[in-house]
């Protein structure tokens, strides 16, 4: 019957009120995408950001979040997760979670490592509380201390909605790009001084499909 879409980052305490004629809603919640890490000199490339997770939930009159029964669903708090920041001289930033009341939520993806960071790999976000819970895609890993050019570090992680940003590429004079689809990861930087910077991910999204009948 209708659709409501939330893409403005932040917590909206008056976020969603169900129209009186709506008999069921289908909610998609996606966390933000992580930022890409920076590259350094000596053929070291930064890792791309990981995507946010997604939760999908079918909500009917029998579903309750503990406070708002479906029949009186009004001012349900909606949170849209922020993207992870670009790794200009270090790791990409971690993204934040999205949620729809207490019904379901999805964490944001972690940022990609900078090129010489030897810590454990970071992780994408994951959905929870949904009828279907999806883990976001991994961003391309970083290359550290290579003696020959290993190419780009790989694209940003893909979310439920689509793909992430491109990694920087020295040979085609290409800067990393930001996450393209909602909740996707940003591309990582390469190893030359011009193209070392990673790029930010894309913010999350909450979509509410409204059904009548």
d(CA 108, CA 199): 16
pTM of the model: 0.91
Q: Is the pLDDT of residue 146 over 60?
A: no
Q: Note the pLDDT of residue 137.
A: 96
Looking at residue 70, the DSSP 8-state letter turns out to be G
Quick: pLDDT tens for 75-133.
899 999 999 999 988 899 999 999 999 999 999 999 998 877 767 678 999 999 999 99
What kind and span of H or E run contains 116?
Answer: none
DSSP string, 156-173: PPPBTTB--PPPPBTTTT
Confidence class for position 158, pLDDT limits 50, 70, 90: very high
CB 38 within 8 A of CB 124: no
Quick: pLDDT tens for 14-70.
899 999 889 899 999 999 999 999 887 666 788 899 999 999 999 987 765 555 566
- Side by side, which strands form the sheet with 10-16? 10-16, 76-80, 98-100, 104-106, 127-128
């Amino acid at each position: 019957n209708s659709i409501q879409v939330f893409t403005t980052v932040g917590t909206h305490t008056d976020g969603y009120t169900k129209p009186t004629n709506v008999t069921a809603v289908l909610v998609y919640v996606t966390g933000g995408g992580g930022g890409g890490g920076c590259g350094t000199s000596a053929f070291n490339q930064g890792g791309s950001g990981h995507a946010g997770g997604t939760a999908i939930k079918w909500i009917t009159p029998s579903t309750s979040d503990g406070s708002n029964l479906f029949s009186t669903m009004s001012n349900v708090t909606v949170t849209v997760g922020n993207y992870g920041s670009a790794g200009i001289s270090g790791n990409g930033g971690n993204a934040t979670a999205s949620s729809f009341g207490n019904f379901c939520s999805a964490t944001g993806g972690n940022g990609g490592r900078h090129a010489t960071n030897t810590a454990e790999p970071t992780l994408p976000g994951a959905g929870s509380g949904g009828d279907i819970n999806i883990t976001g895609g991994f961003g391309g890993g970083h290359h550290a201390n290579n003696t020959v050019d290993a190419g780009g570090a790989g694209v940003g992680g893909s979310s439920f909605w689509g793909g992430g940003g491109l990694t920087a590429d020295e040979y085609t004079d290409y800067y990393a790009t930001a996450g393209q689809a909602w909740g996707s990861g940003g591309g990582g930087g390469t190893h030359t001084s011009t193209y070392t910077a990673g790029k930010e991910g894309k913010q999350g999204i909450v979509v509410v499909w409204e059904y009548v009948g």
